[in-house]
Amino acid sequence: MAAKQASIARIWRGRTRRDKADAYAVYQESEGVALLRQKALGVQMFRQDRPEESEFVVISYWESIEAMSRFAGSDPRKIHHLPRDADFLIALPEGVEVLEIVVNEPA
């Protein structure tokens, strides 16, 4: 049986104060990314540190909108905040980006 190929990327972005970034990275990985590892075809977490804040980006990969909806609910663009996001994030994101993958080739 052929491996499932990702055709959809779901992109979440959040910002935290720089002094909370290390703790948030651990929290996001253990509470958010860990669940995506079980459900999505793949997941990546990125971090960019700036002098006053750090931005986190989590991209999960899905075979289809339907597969993503089974995880995220009927509106896959809707945010499902982690229980402690309000403790860490500067502002709670209002949505995620859902993009169709046009080219998907290994490096």
Q: Where are the domains of the chain?
A: 8-100
C-alpha to C-alpha distances, 18 to 53, 58, 60, nearest whole angstrom:
4, 18, 24
Rounded to whole angstroms, how far apart are CA atoms 99 and 87? 29
Give residue-wise pLDDT tens across range 59-81: 999 999 888 888 877 887 888 89
Rounded to whole angstroms, how far apart are CA atoms 43 and 37? 6
Query: In CATH terms, is domain 8-100 a member of 3.30.70.100?
Result: yes
pLDDT of residue 4: 81
pLDDT of residue 73: 78
3 state SS of 6: coil
Q: Tokens in use for 66?
A: 């339907």
Strands (E), the chain: 8-17, 42-49, 53-62, 97-100
Per-residue pLDDT of the chain (107 residues; tens, 9 = 90+): 556 888 999 999 999 999 999 999 999 999 999 999 999 999 999 999 999 999 999 999 999 988 888 887 788 788 889 999 999 999 999 999 999 999 988 77
DSSP state of 19: G
